[in-house]
Amino acid sequence: GAVVSQHPSWVICKSGTSVKIECRSLDFQATTMFWYRQFPKQSLMLMATSNEGSKATYEQGVEKDKFLINHASLTLSTLTVTSAHPEDSSFYICSARPGQANTDTQYFGPGTRLTVL
Amino acid sequence: AQSVTQLGSHVSVSEGALVLLRCNYSSSVPPYLFWYVQYPNQGLQLLLKYTSAATLVKGINGFEAEFKKSETSFHLTKPSAHMSDAAEYFCAVSAMNRDDKIIFGKGTRLHILP
Protein backbone atom coordinates (compact mmCIF):
# COMPACT_ATOMS: atom_id res chain seq x y z
CA GLY A 1 0.00 0.00 0.00
CA ALA A 2 0.82 3.72 0.04
CA VAL A 3 2.14 4.01 -3.50
CA VAL A 4 2.77 7.34 -5.16
CA SER A 5 3.38 7.55 -8.88
CA GLN A 6 4.74 10.33 -11.05
CA HIS A 7 4.30 10.86 -14.74
CA PRO A 8 6.33 11.22 -16.80
CA SER A 9 9.44 9.66 -15.29
CA TRP A 10 11.57 11.78 -17.56
CA VAL A 11 10.96 14.56 -20.06
CA ILE A 12 13.08 16.58 -22.44
CA CYS A 13 11.73 19.86 -23.73
CA LYS A 14 12.82 22.94 -25.61
CA SER A 15 13.49 26.20 -23.85
CA GLY A 16 10.35 28.32 -23.61
CA THR A 17 7.88 25.48 -23.53
CA SER A 18 5.78 24.37 -20.57
CA VAL A 19 5.91 20.96 -18.96
CA LYS A 20 3.33 19.33 -16.71
CA ILE A 21 4.27 16.69 -14.16
CA GLU A 22 1.61 14.57 -12.46
CA CYS A 23 1.74 13.11 -8.98
CA ARG A 24 -0.82 10.49 -8.02
CA SER A 25 -1.53 8.62 -4.83
CA LEU A 26 -2.63 5.22 -6.09
CA ASP A 27 -4.17 3.58 -3.06
CA PHE A 28 -4.92 6.34 -0.60
CA GLN A 29 -6.37 9.81 -0.50
CA ALA A 30 -3.83 12.55 0.01
CA THR A 31 -5.07 15.74 1.55
CA THR A 32 -1.61 17.23 1.27
CA MET A 33 1.05 16.80 -1.38
CA PHE A 34 4.53 18.26 -1.49
CA TRP A 35 6.79 19.13 -4.39
CA TYR A 36 10.55 18.95 -4.08
CA ARG A 37 13.40 19.78 -6.38
CA GLN A 38 16.72 17.98 -6.30
CA PHE A 39 19.83 19.13 -8.14
CA PRO A 40 22.51 16.56 -8.98
CA LYS A 41 24.26 15.21 -5.91
CA GLN A 42 22.30 17.54 -3.64
CA SER A 43 19.47 17.29 -1.17
CA LEU A 44 15.77 17.77 -1.71
CA MET A 45 14.52 21.31 -1.47
CA LEU A 46 10.86 21.81 -0.68
CA MET A 47 9.24 23.96 -3.34
CA ALA A 48 5.63 24.05 -2.23
CA THR A 49 2.90 22.40 -0.23
CA SER A 50 -0.45 21.82 -1.85
CA ASN A 51 -3.69 21.03 -0.12
CA GLU A 52 -6.62 19.63 -2.03
CA GLY A 53 -8.99 22.35 -3.13
CA SER A 54 -6.89 25.31 -2.05
CA LYS A 55 -3.95 27.32 -3.29
CA ALA A 56 -0.48 25.94 -2.83
CA THR A 57 1.89 27.42 -0.29
CA TYR A 58 5.25 28.19 -1.85
CA GLU A 59 8.57 28.26 -0.06
CA GLN A 60 10.59 31.43 -0.05
CA GLY A 61 12.39 32.01 -3.32
CA VAL A 62 10.13 29.76 -5.41
CA GLU A 63 8.31 31.63 -8.18
CA LYS A 64 4.63 30.72 -7.99
CA ASP A 65 3.97 31.98 -11.51
CA LYS A 66 6.70 29.79 -12.91
CA PHE A 67 5.87 26.64 -10.99
CA LEU A 68 2.11 26.26 -11.13
CA ILE A 69 0.67 23.71 -8.75
CA ASN A 70 -2.83 22.32 -8.91
CA HIS A 71 -4.27 19.84 -6.43
CA ALA A 72 -7.69 19.30 -7.91
CA SER A 73 -8.50 15.97 -6.31
CA LEU A 74 -7.50 13.89 -3.32
CA THR A 75 -5.34 11.66 -5.50
CA LEU A 76 -3.77 14.04 -8.00
CA SER A 77 -1.50 17.04 -7.89
CA THR A 78 0.20 18.59 -10.90
CA LEU A 79 3.27 20.78 -11.23
CA THR A 80 3.58 22.83 -14.40
CA VAL A 81 6.91 24.39 -15.19
CA THR A 82 6.02 27.33 -17.39
CA SER A 83 8.37 28.78 -20.00
CA ALA A 84 11.05 26.34 -19.00
CA HIS A 85 14.71 27.28 -19.24
CA PRO A 86 17.86 25.17 -18.95
CA GLU A 87 18.32 26.22 -15.33
CA ASP A 88 15.00 24.52 -14.55
CA SER A 89 16.53 21.18 -15.45
CA SER A 90 16.36 19.10 -12.31
CA PHE A 91 14.86 16.05 -10.63
CA TYR A 92 11.39 16.83 -9.33
CA ILE A 93 9.95 14.61 -6.60
CA CYS A 94 6.50 14.72 -5.08
CA SER A 95 5.27 13.24 -1.85
CA ALA A 96 1.80 12.66 -0.48
CA ARG A 97 0.45 12.56 3.03
CA PRO A 98 -2.63 10.45 3.73
CA GLY A 99 -5.62 12.28 5.13
CA GLN A 100 -5.45 10.72 8.55
CA ALA A 101 -4.79 11.95 12.07
CA ASN A 102 -1.23 10.61 12.02
CA THR A 103 0.65 13.42 10.31
CA ASP A 104 4.18 12.12 10.37
CA THR A 105 4.18 9.99 7.23
CA GLN A 106 4.78 11.10 3.68
CA TYR A 107 5.12 8.74 0.76
CA PHE A 108 7.42 9.74 -2.04
CA GLY A 109 7.03 9.32 -5.75
CA PRO A 110 9.84 7.98 -7.94
CA GLY A 111 10.67 11.41 -9.34
CA THR A 112 10.63 13.08 -12.74
CA ARG A 113 13.82 14.12 -14.46
CA LEU A 114 13.34 17.29 -16.48
CA THR A 115 15.91 18.33 -19.05
CA VAL A 116 15.43 21.66 -20.80
CA LEU A 117 17.45 22.14 -23.96
CA ALA B 1 13.16 26.67 12.83
CA GLN B 2 14.50 23.22 12.13
CA SER B 3 17.61 21.97 10.45
CA VAL B 4 19.58 18.82 9.94
CA THR B 5 23.32 18.37 9.59
CA GLN B 6 24.76 15.21 8.14
CA LEU B 7 28.43 14.75 8.89
CA GLY B 8 30.30 13.45 5.87
CA SER B 9 29.02 13.75 2.34
CA HIS B 10 30.71 10.43 1.51
CA VAL B 11 31.29 7.41 3.72
CA SER B 12 33.07 4.24 2.64
CA VAL B 13 32.93 0.97 4.52
CA SER B 14 33.99 -2.55 3.67
CA GLU B 15 31.40 -5.19 3.01
CA GLY B 16 30.52 -6.80 6.34
CA ALA B 17 31.73 -3.85 8.40
CA LEU B 18 29.67 -1.58 10.62
CA VAL B 19 27.82 1.26 8.92
CA LEU B 20 27.52 4.54 10.85
CA LEU B 21 25.97 7.60 9.24
CA ARG B 22 25.83 10.66 11.45
CA CYS B 23 22.98 13.10 11.77
CA ASN B 24 22.49 16.01 14.16
CA TYR B 25 19.34 18.04 14.26
CA SER B 26 18.17 21.38 15.51
CA SER B 27 14.56 21.96 16.42
CA SER B 28 12.72 24.46 18.59
CA VAL B 29 9.90 21.97 19.13
CA PRO B 30 9.85 18.21 19.72
CA PRO B 31 10.89 16.64 16.44
CA TYR B 32 9.98 13.76 14.27
CA LEU B 33 13.14 12.34 12.71
CA PHE B 34 13.54 10.24 9.60
CA TRP B 35 16.12 8.42 7.58
CA TYR B 36 15.47 7.93 3.87
CA VAL B 37 17.46 6.05 1.24
CA GLN B 38 17.66 7.02 -2.42
CA TYR B 39 19.00 4.80 -5.16
CA PRO B 40 20.19 6.43 -8.41
CA ASN B 41 17.42 8.12 -10.39
CA GLN B 42 14.78 6.96 -7.96
CA GLY B 43 12.58 8.53 -5.32
CA LEU B 44 13.03 8.23 -1.59
CA GLN B 45 12.30 5.17 0.48
CA LEU B 46 11.66 5.50 4.20
CA LEU B 47 14.14 3.47 6.24
CA LEU B 48 12.86 4.37 9.67
CA LYS B 49 11.34 7.16 11.70
CA TYR B 50 11.31 8.42 15.28
CA THR B 51 7.99 9.71 16.55
CA SER B 52 8.54 10.03 20.32
CA ALA B 53 8.00 6.39 21.22
CA ALA B 54 11.09 4.21 21.69
CA THR B 55 14.39 6.07 21.32
CA LEU B 56 15.96 3.11 19.51
CA VAL B 57 14.17 2.74 16.22
CA LYS B 58 14.50 -0.30 14.00
CA GLY B 59 13.91 0.04 10.30
CA ILE B 60 14.04 -1.96 7.13
CA ASN B 61 17.07 -3.75 5.70
CA GLY B 62 18.69 -4.16 9.13
CA PHE B 63 19.13 -0.45 9.81
CA GLU B 64 18.44 1.20 13.12
CA ALA B 65 18.86 4.64 14.65
CA GLU B 66 18.94 5.98 18.17
CA PHE B 67 17.41 9.29 19.19
CA LYS B 68 19.62 11.04 21.73
CA LYS B 69 18.05 14.27 22.89
CA SER B 70 21.05 15.30 24.98
CA GLU B 71 23.27 15.08 21.92
CA THR B 72 20.59 16.22 19.43
CA SER B 73 21.62 13.25 17.32
CA PHE B 74 19.91 10.55 15.31
CA HIS B 75 22.73 8.45 13.87
CA LEU B 76 21.96 5.57 11.52
CA THR B 77 23.70 2.22 11.98
CA LYS B 78 23.79 -1.24 10.49
CA PRO B 79 25.96 -3.99 11.98
CA SER B 80 27.12 -5.50 8.70
CA ALA B 81 27.21 -3.67 5.38
CA HIS B 82 26.03 -5.31 2.20
CA MET B 83 26.89 -4.28 -1.33
CA SER B 84 23.24 -3.45 -1.94
CA ASP B 85 23.40 -0.78 0.77
CA ALA B 86 25.36 1.52 -1.54
CA ALA B 87 23.08 4.55 -2.00
CA GLU B 88 22.41 8.10 -0.87
CA TYR B 89 21.02 8.46 2.65
CA PHE B 90 19.10 11.47 3.88
CA CYS B 91 18.33 12.41 7.44
CA ALA B 92 15.26 14.58 7.87
CA VAL B 93 13.30 16.39 10.55
CA SER B 94 9.79 17.69 10.90
CA ALA B 95 7.88 19.32 13.71
CA MET B 96 5.85 17.06 15.89
CA ASN B 97 2.20 17.99 16.10
CA ARG B 98 2.55 21.18 14.17
CA ASP B 99 3.07 21.36 10.45
CA ASP B 100 4.29 18.52 8.33
CA LYS B 101 7.09 20.00 6.28
CA ILE B 102 10.07 17.72 6.18
CA ILE B 103 13.48 19.38 6.16
CA PHE B 104 16.20 17.24 4.62
CA GLY B 105 19.89 17.10 5.29
CA LYS B 106 22.34 17.31 2.43
CA GLY B 107 22.73 13.57 2.24
CA THR B 108 25.53 11.08 2.69
CA ARG B 109 26.59 8.79 -0.10
CA LEU B 110 27.48 5.37 1.25
CA HIS B 111 30.08 3.39 -0.68
CA ILE B 112 30.59 -0.30 0.02
CA LEU B 113 34.06 -1.67 -0.64
CA PRO B 114 34.36 -5.33 -1.65
Q: In the prediction, which pLDDT does B97 show?
A: 61
Quick check: B111 contacting A, CB < 8 Å?
no
Quick check: B95 contacting A, CB < 8 Å?
no
Mean pLDDT of the region A24-39: 90
Does residue A87 register a pLDDT over 60? yes
What integer best gives the mean pLDDT of chain A? 90
DSSP string, B89-114: EEEEEEETTS----EE---EEEEEE-
Which residue spans within A26-100 are E strands per DSSP?
A: 30-38, 44-51, 57-58, 67-73, 76-81, 90-98
Record: contact B104-A110, CB cut-off 8 A: no
Record: contact B97-A103, CB cut-off 8 A: yes
Record: contact A49-B104, CB cut-off 8 A: no
What's the rounded Cα separation, in Å, for the pair B35 and A16?
A: 37
Averages of pLDDT over runs of 10 residues in chain B (114 residues) are 91 97 92 91 88 89 95 97 95 76 91 96
Q: How confident is the model at residue A80 (pLDDT cuts 50, 70, 90)?
A: very high
Exposed / middle / buried, residue B18 (Cβ in 10 Å: 0-12, 13-18, 19+): exposed
